[in-house]
Structure 1
């Protein structure tokens, strides 16, 4: 596209404030349709199908329902999804699925726009319960249970978390002890803290569950395995003998899901109910597994269920897009204060602070979206078998653990900021910010607590660092990274290992000269990750040779730095994903605007961590002062394209469903401006007191002369 005159912004002729007046007369234009196609990604067809479903009123959340009514509605909506072929993409072709793992997650995450409770309840049924049977079971299990799971004839639960052990799955206390005399496993919760807790579908709807328990046979504990356990009588919906439970009750959000607790008192199940793809018990009680290492076996079994984290990452990005679409549309219409005109008030989005609030989060949302598309492709490659080595699975697990915390925290931050940016209107439930934020609150702690996930990423970074530099003294390496004396840039795609060094031309401050340049941003962002990991690696050198308690204490002393390093690494992944996406844009105008948006994201990260760059000598004080100025200039450039950038998300009125995003505010503002314009033109407008005082003073001065 060639450059064109900027599109109308809805402002009056005299409404521009200083930032707005700095706009050039000619602006590059965004090709909204082409950008929208790019944002839909590889599984565009699945996303469109899911968005069509999510736009149906039958699936929309009805605000104000009691939790009992909301639960009943959500369960009915699951049936609607089945009837409309909305949930079976990942299941085997021979059972009516499509073996399309990437398309399945892409479609599933779009359901958050209809009702997050529906999305998560569907995730429990097919993404957790059904996937556990599919990925941890064998052909016999598939034939026996998957048809009923797919059709919703068997509503189920994913019973992993315990009251006493949340993210620490390896330490759960529920046991499954094999009895060779009866060829049965005995499922037992030995104390209250071992009850399965926060389990979706457990309070009312679940007829069966995949229960995770410590497998014990011949007096040997072989670690956590998964078992298929029937919970309730299909006719009476009452718990079967030996099984009990409680309703978790009303929650802070997601009240369409019947979360509950389950406990087992020596419940017996057939030996064949062990989902035995990765570990089996013979009739004589002997244990066998294709994976010799108990630790690797555990992580392999849990890794097959990584799609929960992948889908939450995508759903959080979708929720952020919905919030920003509503808030930016409103900000482009709502007027407040007449800062630069005696007659017209300013459009909110022309205020620099408002741009800071919304456009920086818009940039982060784009970065998170591009990173999610890479994660989704990695997920599909692993589960389709295209790239399914042990290393690929480890990379997928670490990538999901890195991105899910950032996107879910960002969604909560964005929803809150959008709520505040829309004032009192943002607090009304009809505009969805408060409702979405309540529902997404738990996303930061389920499918892996965000802080725990980042610690997993940090450990991987340390392991990669140690592997790469096994024979190099950590202290020397840390000083090398800090000094930036020499070295070649190593920028790997996918999961970036810590063994990367940023090319520099001499002093560290010289990198800041290219602050707005792609290479300069990459240098600063990458260098921070490397230095942080090297510093912690130096501090932890030899920890594995210490007594257990001393090694743990040393690690705990540096836990905060480790998690900060993991977050910096995840932010770098998002920046790299955004940068790689720019290469796929062919329209010049779109590429220019998206490059500005990428720069805004990168510079915002640098500004957020400016203290680190100053303390570590990466930026001079003088150069650091320019970061904010660069950001402000970018905001002025991006402002005229804000509406196009949210329009490219592709969400219609039936997805956004916020009254303030319908154009009603523009109609009110136009009516008000027309009223005062007509009043002034009639000559009958009352004179404002301050104007009268000014006239009187002016007349007095004239008379004195």
Structure 2
């Protein structure tokens, strides 16, 4: 919120003999908009996790034995705290020297974010909970339904081979939501099959003990756990878009959902190219779509952060145009939107 408000009010550089342009028009768009899309995805997924928790409590289930919920929450914790650190660093750099000042809150928030990365445990260690649950589900499926499990694996394998052939790009347009959802599903499935094959080879073929076999696969375990979390967050974001009752809000959320999915595929484009899921030309189109989506949502970003309805008492950052009683001397840009709690609370956009 602080960085986006500042980037929309601060002007710097521009064509000769013309007014300077807002810095959001520069590199800030590409640096900040994907983070805002990720915040929305994590918000909707956190609501989904909360609904699962409420259901378990209502039914009197033992939360300790709810491994599916544990895996979801652990994955969200690791993913969100890592994203938080990266987001705050980009916000800090996007606001220049102003962002370094403690009065503008970003440096202070970075100190808090550093604690959460290892809160309840190192994220790499915690992600092993996610991978263990995924492998447990895979093993249970194979044991309970060996024939159908084998058939499902064969169908998935054939489907994956078709997706990585020249036929793949005739089914879904590159960059639409269906393509992005299938891409993140493909990544999770391939990584899961790869981890199963590696552990099986080490334990069964090479006769290693499971502990050492597991530890030697920690890199793949981390990748699989994050891929699973990425898939869940994108699916929950897309479901939130479909269930949004307001057409205008739904259209806006769809743009951010596409941006989030495009970001997920773009950041792993080397892996998709290795798997031949993307061609070099398709990878370029994904990059162009990322740039276009960032540009298309930059002016809507103010509406989105206003919908969060964060009280100005929790922000009080001068560069965001929010007065601070401890920094009356600081730089205050022109106000660009009514602040939450200042007469516009009842008219704030809902956005899902």
TM tier, smaller: 0.7 to 0.9
Deviations 1:352-392 (Å, cap 9, x if unpaired)? x2111111100001001111111112222223x32626797
Deviations 1:42-70 (CA, angstroms, capped at 9, x unpaired): xxxxxxxxxxxxxxxxxxxxxxxxxxxxx
Please state if 1:403 is matched with 2:76: yes
1:284-295 equivalences under 5 Å are none
1:462 is aligned to 135
Deviations 1:176-201 (A, max 9, x none): xxxxxxxxxxxxxxxxxxxxxxxxxx
Structure 2 counterpart of 1:372 = 46
Match of 2:55 among 372, 377, 381: 381
Match of 1:523 among 165, 182, 193: 182
Spell out, residue by residue over 1:575-628, the C-alpha distance to the aligned partner (whole angstroms, 9 max, x if none): 111111112212222111110000000000000000111110111111111111
Aligned to 1:360: 34
Aligned pair 1:660/2:333, yes or no? Answer: no
What is the CA–CA distance in structure 2 between the aligned matches of 1:516 and 1:571, rounded to whole Å?
Answer: 16
Change (3 A) 1:421 1:522: same
- Contact persistence 1:653–1:662 (CA under 8 A): no
Distance 1:381 1:668 in 2: 43
- Please state how far the C-alpha of 1:652 moved relative to its aligned partner: 2.6
Kindly indicate whether the alpha-carbon contact (under 8 Å) linking 2:164 and 2:278 is maintained by their aligned counterparts in 1: no
1:648 to 304, 307, 326: 307
CA distance in structure 1 between the aligned counterparts of 2:261 and 2:219, rounded to whole angstroms: 23
TM-score, with normalisation over the residues of structure 2?
A: 0.84
Counterpart CA distance in 2 for 1:399 and 1:531 is 20
Q: Does 1:559 align with 2:215?
A: no
Partner of 1:434: 107
Q: Quote how far apart the aligned CAs of 1:508 are.
A: 6.2
Structure 1 residue 484 corresponds to structure 2 residue 159: yes
Change (3 A) 1:329 1:391: same
Mapped contact 1:430–1:658 kept (Cα < 8 A) = yes
CA contact (8 A) 1:335 1:348 kept: yes
Structure with more strand by fraction: 1
Check whether the contact 2:82–2:117 (CA below 8 A) recurs between aligned residues. Answer: yes
**Residue aligned with 2:212, SS:** helix
Contact 2:164 2:275 in 1 (8 A): no
Deviation at 1:661, TM superposition (A): 0.7
CA RMSD of aligned residues (A): 3.0
Distance (Å, rounded) in 2 between the aligned partners of 1:583 and 1:395: 24
- Structure 2 residue 210 is matched with structure 1 residue 537: no
Q: Which runs of 5+ in 1 are unaligned?
A: 1-324, 487-502, 670-705
Distance 1:478 1:543 in 2: 21
CA distance in 2, matches of 1:511, 1:445: 44
Task: Name the counterpart of 1:344.
Answer: 19
Q: What is the Cα deviation at residue 332 of structure 1? A: 0.1
TM-score (norm 1): 0.43
Between the aligned partners of 1:454 and 1:662, the Cα distance in structure 2 is 39
**Structure 1 residue 618 corresponds to structure 2 residue 277:** yes
CA contact (8 A) 2:202 2:208 kept: no
Q: What is residue 446 of structure 1 aligned with on the other side?
A: 119
- Decide whether the 8 Å contact of 1:337 with 1:346 is kept in 2: yes
Decide whether the 8 Å contact of 1:512 with 1:619 is kept in 2: no
Secondary structure at 2:120's aligned position in 1?
coil
* C-alpha displacement of 1:505: 11
- Return closer, same or farther for 1:619/1:512 CA change in 2, 3 Å cut-off: farther
What are the ranges of 5 or more consecutive residues in structure 2 without an aligned counterpart? 323-330, 337-352
SS of residue matched to 1:342: coil
Q: Distance in 2 between matches of 1:454 and 1:476?
A: 29
Is the Cα contact below 8 Å between 1:405 and 1:444 reproduced in 2? yes
More helix by share: 2
Q: In the aligned structure 1, how far is the partner of 2:121 from the partner of 2:310? A: 29
**Tell me, what secondary structure is at the counterpart of 1:599?**
helix
Change (3 A) 1:477 1:617: farther
- Contact 2:45 2:236 (8 Å CA) reproduced: yes
SS at match of 1:650: coil
**CA contact 1:474–1:534 (8 Å) conserved in 2:** no
Question: C-alpha displacement at 1:480, in angstroms?
Answer: 5.7
- The question of whether the paired residues in 2 share the 8 Å contact of 1:482 and 1:616 is answered with no
Larger relative contact order (Cα-Cα within 8 Å, sequence gap ≥ 6):
2
Deviation of 1:463 after TM superposition, in Å, equals 1.5
- The 5 A counterparts of 1:57-456 are 325-338=1-14, 340-351=15-26, 353-383=27-57, 385-386=58-59, 388=61, 393-456=66-129
1-structure distance, mates of 2:148, 2:273:
26
SS of residue paired to 1:537: helix
Rg: which structure is higher?
1
